[in-house]
Chain A
Amino acid sequence: MSDILLSVQNLHAYYGKNHVLHGVDISVNKGETIGLMGRNGMGKSTLLKSIMGLGPLRTGTISFLGSKVTDLPPHEIMRNGIAYVPEGRGIFSTLSTLENLLMSSRIGCRGRHDWTLDGVLEIFPSLVNRLSHGGGQLSGGEQQMLSIGRALMTNPDLLILDEATEGLAPRVASDIWKTIDIVRDAGVAVIVVDKNLSALSAITNKIVILVKGELVFNGLGEKLINSRDLQLKLLGI
């Protein structure tokens, strides 16, 4: 069996008449960690949403573990083993922390059950004292932990994290990076969007960069770190 977990081929996406993604090809191997970068408005979130069927109109092919999922409704795509932590975290503020975790809980589709409530609370000990608090009362960092924990409760094979550390204090951000490390070590593939090149390249196998809806870079993080030219050209930093 091949090692390819997710394969996206020739993905085009449209918001009305706006052509946002121009034939993106991307593939993620089992257990692989990929950093997705690009300036604002280059199509990162659109790419992620298109993969999950939550975004705009799209054409192209999306396969998960070899089977085509392009035309499935979003929840069925996700049930194949994808979990999503959106930009802005998507916490249900009227549900308590505990309820946020319990509502998504299920056994993974290939019988995976690594992540239980106890398991999730073990990697996020700061949530233990917050279980009865409303999701809206948590700090940004706690919300991000909760959102990752909630995603893990679905026992995914692939975790998608949009803007993993945006708006978080450096110390909290470093906690999040450590968590992604733990998740990766547990054998879950991860796609992370973030603006921190050095942190991303430290934990990912490769980095891909979108510019105006096209994939313009697909390679090792070191290559970017060592080239000011590339950084300036592709990321504007």
Chain B
Amino acid sequence: MLGAYLAFSLSEQFGSFWIALPVGVTIAFSFGLLMEWILISRLYSRDHLYQVLLTYGLILVLEELRSLVWGDDVQTVRVPDILDSSIMLTDTLSYPIYRIWISVVCLAVAVGMYWMIQKTRIGMIVRARSEDRDMVQALGLNVRLVDRFVFAIGVALAAFAGMLAAPVSSVFPGMGNQVLIICFVVVVIGGIGSIKGAMLSALMIGLVDSFGKVVTLEILGLRVFPELSGMVVYFLMAAVLLIRPMGLFGRTHH
């Protein structure tokens, strides 16, 4: 949500989506550092539930701030000129270049993240930290710094995603909430802590959601009941959790 609104304001401000993108990501990153420092870092010694409550509170606060700063109108962000065209797949079916570009960028980010977490020393430290915080400290590494940067990178990535999505989805109040719930479902199905799992489950949910809509409408002819199609994803989650409570690629904690 923040990302999309940043994309909206910054591209108005600079007149260019391409300048808005890095500036927005930098702002989000700094915001993440600040939030971690002021709020999140105080809760590591407590149960995860406190973090969930705190971040949920932040959602509410940010949503109100958004209303004060940007108002409640629906806004649009223009697709950058260079990507503002479509390719014809068949005579009657065209596909916007911008969407193809988003897919490519997202794949690149995913590969980049995978590489960073699996292959670099920073990634090793991040993985080690998620396993045993004290031991990482005992090896003379500054875990507080690791925590802060991991959180800020998370915020920056979320904002980046929001900015990319802004031109295709339009920018409106509460837009983050739909994404948030789907993100939870993705993480739960994939298994908490597994990037591979998240990738796979995101693809799966995308397909199930899209096909679910088409199939339920056509086979059952449920025009009266289109809400049912939105439930398919949650049926999938329930099914996965029944069979593998830790998610597809999740580790069991002893």
Chain A interface (Cβ within 8 Å of chain B)? 52, 54, 73-76, 78-79, 82-84, 86, 90, 92-95, 99-100, 102-106, 150-151, 154
Q: Told that A75-B143, A79-B140, A150-B139 touch, could you supply 16 new A-B pairs with CB distance under 8 A?
A: A73-B137, A74-B134, A74-B137, A75-B140, A75-B141, A78-B137, A78-B138, A86-B138, A92-B127, A92-B128, A92-B132, A95-B124, A95-B128, A100-B128, A103-B125, A104-B141
- Chain B residues with Cβ below 8 Å from A102 are 121, 124
- Chain A residues with Cβ below 8 Å from B134 are 54, 74
- Chain B residues with Cβ below 8 Å from A104 are 139-141
- Chain A residues with Cβ below 8 Å from B128 are 92, 95, 100, 103
23 contacts between A and B (CB under 8 A): A54-B137, A73-B142, A74-B134, A74-B138, A75-B142, A76-B140, A78-B137, A78-B138, A78-B140, A84-B138, A86-B135, A92-B127, A92-B128, A92-B131, A94-B127, A95-B128, A95-B131, A99-B124, A102-B121, A102-B124, A104-B139, A106-B140, A154-B140
- Chain A residues with Cβ below 8 Å from B142 are 73, 75
Question: Could you tell me the distance in whole angstroms from the C-beta of A69 to the nearest C-beta in chain B?
Answer: 12
- Chain B residues with Cβ below 8 Å from A94 are 127, 131, 251
Given that A94-B127, A103-B121 are known contacts, is A75 also in contact with B137, CB under 8 Å in the complex?
Answer: yes
- Chain A residues with Cβ below 8 Å from B137 are 54, 73-75, 78
State in angstroms the CA–CA spacing of A99 and B142 once bound together.
Answer: 18
Q: How many A-B Cβ pairs are below 8 Å?
A: 65
Given that A75-B143, A94-B251 are known contacts, is A103 also in contact with B124, CB under 8 Å in the complex?
Answer: yes
* Shortest 4 CB-CB contacts between residues of A and residues of B: A78-B140, A103-B124, A90-B135, A104-B139
Indicate with 1 or 0, residue by residue over B62-81, a CB within 8 angstroms of chain A CB atoms.
Answer: 00000000000000000000
- Chain A residues with Cβ below 8 Å from B138 are 52, 54, 74, 78, 84, 86, 90
Closest-by-CB residue of A relative to B144 is A73
- Chain A residues with Cβ below 8 Å from B121 are 102-103, 105
Question: Could you tell me the distance in whole angstroms from the C-beta of B188 to the nearest C-beta in chain A?
Answer: 20
Would A154 and B144 count as touching, CB distance under 8 A? no
User: Which of A73, A75, A83: most chain B CB closer than 10 A?
Assistant: A75
Would A78 and B135 count as touching, CB distance under 8 A? no
Would A103 and B135 count as touching, CB distance under 8 A? no
State in angstroms the CA–CA spacing of A100 and B127 once bound together.
Answer: 10
Indicate with 1 or 0, residue by residue over B96-131, a CB within 8 angstroms of chain A CB atoms.
Answer: 000000000000000000000000010011011001
Question: Could you tell me the distance in whole angstroms from the C-beta of B9 to the nearest C-beta in chain A?
Answer: 39
State in angstroms the CA–CA spacing of A94 and B131 once bound together.
Answer: 8
Question: Could you tell me the distance in whole angstroms from the C-beta of B119 to the nearest C-beta in chain A?
Answer: 10
Closest-by-CB residue of B relative to A79 is B140
State in angstroms the CA–CA spacing of A76 and B137 once bound together.
Answer: 9
Would B139 and A154 count as touching, CB distance under 8 A? yes
- Chain B residues with Cβ below 8 Å from A99 are 124, 127
Would A83 and B124 count as touching, CB distance under 8 A? no
- Chain A residues with Cβ below 8 Å from B132 are 90, 92
- Chain B residues with Cβ below 8 Å from A93 are 131
Closest-by-CB residue of A relative to B138 is A84
Closest-by-CB residue of B relative to A53 is B137
Question: Could you tell me the distance in whole angstroms from the C-beta of B191 to the nearest C-beta in chain A?
Answer: 13
Would B135 and A92 count as touching, CB distance under 8 A? yes
- Chain B residues with Cβ below 8 Å from A95 are 124, 127-128, 131
- Chain A residues with Cβ below 8 Å from B125 are 103
State in angstroms the CA–CA spacing of A78 and B134 once bound together.
Answer: 12
State in angstroms the CA–CA spacing of A183 and B131 once bound together.
Answer: 28
- Chain A residues with Cβ below 8 Å from B127 are 92, 94-95, 99
